[in-house]
Amino acid sequence: MDRFIINGGKRIQGEIKVDGAKNAVLPILAATLINHSESVIHNVPELKDVETLIGMLKSVGCKCFFENNTLIVKSDGILDMNVPERPVREMRSSIILLGAMISRCGHVKISYPGG
C-alpha cells in the first residue's frame, strides 16, 4: 500500500505498523499535536532529529516519555504558539510542526528552519 485515502468527516480510530525510520516518525510526532490527548508511538528510532523534535514538543507544552523505543506524547494541555528558535535552526524538518501548530492553535511563531 502506497498511501491512505481518508474520506468524510468520520472519526479515525485504529492502529497501523510503521517501520522505525526517521522520515516516517517525524511527521507522526508532529501530528501528535492535533490529537489533544495521548499518543503512543512504538518502534521510534533513537536519532538526533527525533530527540530534537521531542524537545520542541516539550517546549510547546507536550509531555513526552521515551522508553524502549516507545514514545508517549500527551498533548492535552494548552500549547505555547512560540516554537523556540535554537532547535528549529538545528534541522530542516522542524518545519513539519507548522501545519500541526496552525491546526491546533490557529497561529504559530516559528523561525526559518536550519540544518
- What are phi and psi for residue 20, nearest 5 degrees? -80, 60
**Which tens digits make up the pLDDT trace of 11-29?**
778 877 766 787 889 999 9
**CA dihedral defined by 37, 65, 85, 21, rounded to 10 degrees?**
-90
Averaged pLDDT, 64-83:
88
Which of the four pLDDT bands, split at 50, 70 and 90, describes residue 115? low
The residues spanned by each domain of the chain are 22-105
**Please, what is the average pLDDT of the chain?**
85
- Residue 18 has a pLDDT of 64
Mean pLDDT within 54-61:
90
Helix (H) or strand (E) holding 72: strand 70-74
How far apart, in whole angstroms, are the C-alpha atoms of residue 57 and residue 74? 10
* Higher-scoring residue by pLDDT: 10, 63: 63
pLDDT for res 16: 75
Distance, CA of 104 to CA of 19 (rounded, Å): 27
pLDDT band at 38 (very low <50, low <70, confident <90, very high): very high
C-alpha to C-alpha distance for 35 and 45, rounded to whole angstroms = 21
Calculate the CA 6 to chain-centre distance: 20
Please tell me which residue, 22 or 56, carries the higher pLDDT value.
56
Q: What is the pLDDT of residue 63?
A: 94
Asked if pLDDT for residue 1 goes beyond 80, the answer is no
Place domain 22-105 in its CATH homologous superfamily: Enolpyruvate transferase domain (3.65.10.10)
User: Global pTM?
Assistant: 0.77
